[in-house]
Amino acid sequence: MLRATALALACLTSAGAIAAAPSTYGQQLEGFTYPYPLRHFDFQSQGQALQMGYMDVPAKGKANGHSVVLMHGKNFCAGTWETTLDALSQAGYRVIAPDQVGFCTSSKPAHYQYSFQQLADNTHALLAQLGVDRAIILGHSTGGMLATRYALMYPQQVERLAMVNPIGLEDWKALGVPYRTVDQWYARELKLDAEGVRNYERNTYYAGRWKPEYERWVQMLVGLNQGPGHRLVAWNSALIYDMIFTQPVVHEFKDLKMPTLLLIGDQDSTAIGSDIAPPEIKARLGQYKVLGPQVAKLIPQGELVSFEGLGHAPQIEEPGKFHQALLGWLQR
């Protein structure tokens, strides 16, 4: 009897472990739920048919006639903007949140020449399809680099520009960070797991802190990378890291023509390649408390809002405080 009970308990424990195992998602994040209906934009680029997943959220209540385009970061997706989608929509804005090619719910091409110009052009084509001629652009992390490139390419169509802890506030290669080849990035991305992502984000994004609600975004990223599109997802990720490292925008902040807001969590320490940089170089990288004020001065109509004690994603850490600052600036 005892043996039978022990065996039953073992089976239940095993079944529980299987049930608790992390979910995996399809090559275009199939199986992960977005906060608003997901649509797809079909287009041709570099001789192939591609898709961009996106959400198009209408204004709730009285519409103010303005559209906001949200550009996600490297380890983020359109879905991670969920509280910002709600806040902007409630304030009367139409909000469009695309996933860029190579990310999340969009295509993962086997061959693609990644550049911020190409991604900006893809986004411009999506907006044209949606009938959006002029918009406010809001970019987070890598999306801040893309938002900058978009604003430089289409200045007449960007009403305002806002960036949340954009990476690329410094030129890592010019500072002596070693180059990592696409093959090296690929090998690294193939090994991605939840523990590694969680530790990286805790230490780099959240200043050593962790909240249970962050785990959903870890599982989103890991579930995509460990799903059936594992190798193609990793390959696209490697190509994108190479784009980020080799295509700085910091030298062109002086050319931005529109009102621009930097929203900076001052405890962020994100810097691409800092893990392989010599100690004396690594010590100087990713100091957003210093970089934020420096870059705000480079932008002709630049303004800075600093969130003391917050990290790489203040819109996730403290959404109330973040949206109060953003909406206050937009509504001036």
Instruction: Indicate yes or no: pTM above 0.85.
Output: yes
Cβ atoms 79, 35 nearer than 8 A: yes
What is the rounded end-to-end Cα distance, in angstroms, of the chain? 74
**CATH fold of 25-330:** Rossmann fold (3.40.50)
> Within 10 Å of residue 115's Cβ, how many Cβ atoms?
13
Cα–Cα distance measured from residue 195 to residue 189, given in angstroms and rounded to the nearest whole number: 14
Q: Distances from the Cα of 327 to the Cαs of 87, 234, 258, 269, 295, in angstroms?
A: 9, 36, 17, 26, 22
Q: Residue 73: which of 100, 55, 51, 94 has the closest Cα? A: 100
Cα–Cα distance measured from residue 14 to residue 181, given in angstroms and rounded to the nearest whole number: 41
Cα–Cα distance measured from residue 99 to residue 32, given in angstroms and rounded to the nearest whole number: 14
What pLDDT, on a 0 to 100 scale, did the predictor assign at position 22?
61
Core vs surface per residue 49-60: b (16+ CB within 10 A) or e:
ebbbbbbbbebe
Token output for 152: 């430089």
> Within 10 Å of residue 195's Cβ, how many Cβ atoms?
9
Binned at pLDDT 50, 70 and 90, residue 121 comes out as very high
**Residue 140 φ/ψ, nearest 5 degrees:** -115, 135
Point out which residues pair with 70 in neighbouring strands. 138
Average pLDDT over the chain, rounded to an integer: 93
What percent of the chain has a predicted confidence (pLDDT) above 90? Answer: 92
Please check the confidence at residue 11 and state whether its pLDDT lies above 60.
no
Mean pLDDT, residues 78-85? 98
Task: Specify the amino acid at residue 150.
Answer: Y
What pLDDT, on a 0 to 100 scale, did the predictor assign at position 21?
52
